[in-house]
Chain A
Amino acid sequence: MSVSLQDLTIRYGDVVAVTHASATFPDGAVGLLGRNGAGKSSILRALLGLVPPAAGALRVLGLAPDENGDGIRRRVGYMPERDASVAGLNGFETVRLAGRLTGLTTRDAARRAHEVLYLVGLDEQRYRPVAGYSAGMRQKVKLAAALVHDPELLFLDEPTNGLDPRGRTDLLRLIRALAQDLGKSVVLSSHILQDVESVCDHVVVMERGRVLAAGPLDELTRTSSRTFRLATSASGPALRQALLARGSQAVEVDERSGGSEWVVTVPSDLDPSALFAAVLDVGGTVDRLAEHRRSLEEVFLAALDAAEVTAL
């Protein structure tokens, strides 16, 4: 477990940014998902010891930020949402400075700066002033600065902000590789569902300072074990009738040439193999039958709806 929050509340004066948030972030890639202003950045700042919590407790790699801030900062790499660089420095100097501030010797910091700038694809531009970088290059230099000391845990706050589609894909691929190839734990804070979905194995959904849902992506997107996605060569009302006759609820989600695709909910007393029989009854064949999963967007919207119902 890389991070845990227990009943965390964060305030800025009278403004409550996070309220009674509890969640566990296991090792691996975890998405902190929520709209702008949901409290994601506040949580990251509290985890880094930048903002003291008004109430509750938090742990990062088993350490409390208020007691062992230095120990955490040494083991954690942070990529802030905003551009954050010392004016007048080039890419190499920026990353080397980040290394020296974290506790690397000047020589090690310089060597690591070259390595991580190459890793993020900025080796050709490393001696250009950061002020002249494009938005994508600035994101990359921030990631390089977060990686310079080879941290165990990375906090990435909206890392794909301002990137073009190609740059976004490259960066997400790199983040995924960091988690998978190097075994780094990554907390990816984002409001972009696809980013989280493509990188993370675990998600914490936030809205208005509250944790609405949390868990493995696999579990959150799974519907009941009795719901299937059925692709078949058959189509039309006849198939629906055949499925209904067996007590199954069926919704056609896609009509394609030479067939159709359905989401079918099977009653608990019915063997799913009965679906094959239903398709055969109307003279069709089953192209594919798989457990139906919701998209992360559906999970997110369902969590929002549930929160609104609770609020009412």
Chain B
Amino acid sequence: MTVYGRGYRPFTFEPTSPRARLWAVAELELRTLFRTRLGLMAFLICLGPSIANLGILLIFSGVWRVGASPERLRSWPRTNPEAIDFYLQPIIGDVFAFVIFLVLTSLVSCRAIAKDRESNALELYWTRGVGPRGYFFAKWLGSVLLLGSAFVVAPAVTWLLGVLMAPDWGTLERTIEFVPSVLLALTVFTAVISYLAVAFSAVAATANTATVFWFFLLLGTAAATRVLSLVFVDEWWFKALSPWDAAKRVAEWICGYVPRRDYNPAIAVLSLVVVVGVLTALALRRLRRAEAVG
């Protein structure tokens, strides 16, 4: 039987733009977590803070009548939908937020490139219309979109629901001043942390190595800053040694939030620039065509 007999048809095509080809990579990354039931569950758990906020919002607006009154909720910034803390703290503020970020970046961003290296998929990309830099960017973009849907879009939707459920436009008037900057801050925070994780992934040899080291980087530096806080009681600049704390300080600065333990955000920016620079250089070196397929 000839190839025609087997249904083969000659095909001609006009190549799509480089952007479309990179989107194919980003889209793949964006869908990573939704391929398995376990991944979907992990994602839903990561939506926990926003779901909790939605519950508070329902109580606050009187839709859901349980013990707490709107006045009581308003008395604490963390439960007041008209305060900046309500949107910012569940994502970057507390230990639960840290754990959620750690889990999601460990499952997605910091495995993004390492798992492709492990399965020799880099050869698939390099021998088609995608180069190392574009690939790295697309992986980061997919990762940002996935993380952003939990850490930026979910708070934005919560705020919108709060505005729509309120009896008047008072909530909108009282929150419109800070919500856009909070969303910008959360976007920058998500982008920085996922960039570091994806760069880490490009450097590591295997996905599991990347996950373990990423886990230790975030946890280890966070623990180190806690220890240093016992030494430098009145100084807080050393918190910038932790990428998590540095990104958090930058996010707080963007939305004008003053933390309890304040320090110059320039130190945080400098710290992130150094880490991003070093990781980018290492990642691009590891992604060179010859090294990736060698």
**Partner-B contacts on A (CB < 8 A):** 12, 45, 48-52, 70, 73-74, 78, 80, 82-88, 97-98, 100-106, 108, 112, 115-116, 118-119, 145, 149-150, 174, 177-178, 181-182
Contacts and interface: CB of A to CB of B under 8 A. Distances in A.
A87 B127 contact: no
7 contacts: A83-B119, A86-B121, A87-B119, A88-B32, A98-B124, A102-B128, A150-B11
A112 B120 contact: no
B262 interface: no
B12 A150 contact: yes
B85 interface: no
Nearest to B11: A150
A178 B11 CA distance: 14
Nearest to B24: A100
Main secondary structure of the interface of B (DSSP, over half): loop
Given A101-B129, A115-B7, 4 more contacts: A84-B121, A88-B36, A103-B15, A149-B11
Contacts, number: 118
Nearest to A83: B120
A88 B111 CA distance: 13
Given A85-B119, A115-B8, A52 B290 contact: yes
Contact of B8 (A78, A97, A182): A182
B119 A119 contact: no
Interface in B1-56: 2-4, 6-16, 20-21, 24-25, 28, 32, 35-36
- Listed from nearest, the 10 A-B pairs whose CB atoms lie closest are A103-B15, A101-B128, A100-B24, A150-B11, A84-B120, A84-B123, A78-B127, A181-B2, A86-B121, A102-B128
Nearest to B290: A51
A8 B114 CA distance: 32
Contact of B289 (A51, A115, A145, A182): A51
Interface of B: 2-4, 6-16, 20-21, 24-25, 28, 32, 35-36, 115-116, 118-121, 123-130, 289-290, 293-294
Contacts of A87: 115-116, 118-119, 121
B217 to A, nearest CB: 23
Contacts of A104: 13, 16
B199 to A, nearest CB: 20
B212 to A, nearest CB: 18
Contacts of B36: 88
Nearest to A102: B128
Nearest to A182: B3
Given A98-B128, A101-B129, A119-B7, A80 B13 contact: no
B127 A48 contact: yes
Contacts of A49: 289
A112 B293 contact: no
Nearest to B15: A103
Contact of A86 (B12, B124, B127): B124
Given A50-B290, A103-B13, A97 B28 contact: yes
A24 B293 CA distance: 25
Contacts of B21: 100-103
Nearest to B17: A103
A177 B7 CA distance: 13
Contact of A50 (B116, B118, B127): B127
Contacts of B126: 48, 50
Nearest to B289: A50
A181 to B, nearest CB: 5
B3 A108 contact: no
B24 A84 contact: no
A100 B120 CA distance: 18
A174 B3 contact: yes
B35 A88 contact: yes
Given A51-B290, A86-B28, A178-B3, A102 B129 contact: yes
B15 to A, nearest CB: 3
B123 A177 contact: no
Contacts of B16: 100, 103-105
Given A119-B3, A182-B8, A103 B129 contact: yes
Given A86-B28, A119-B8, A182-B8, A145 B124 contact: yes
B119 A177 contact: no
Nearest to B124: A84
Contacts of A83: 119-120
B6 A50 contact: no
Contacts of B124: 80, 84-86, 97-98, 101, 145
B128 A84 contact: no
A106 B28 CA distance: 13
Given A83-B119, A119-B7, A177-B2, A102 B15 contact: yes
Contacts of B127: 48, 50, 73, 78, 80
B221 to A, nearest CB: 29
B119 A86 contact: yes
B290 to A, nearest CB: 5
B115 to A, nearest CB: 5
Given A87-B115, A150-B10, A82 B123 contact: yes
B3 A80 contact: no
Contacts of B120: 80, 82-85
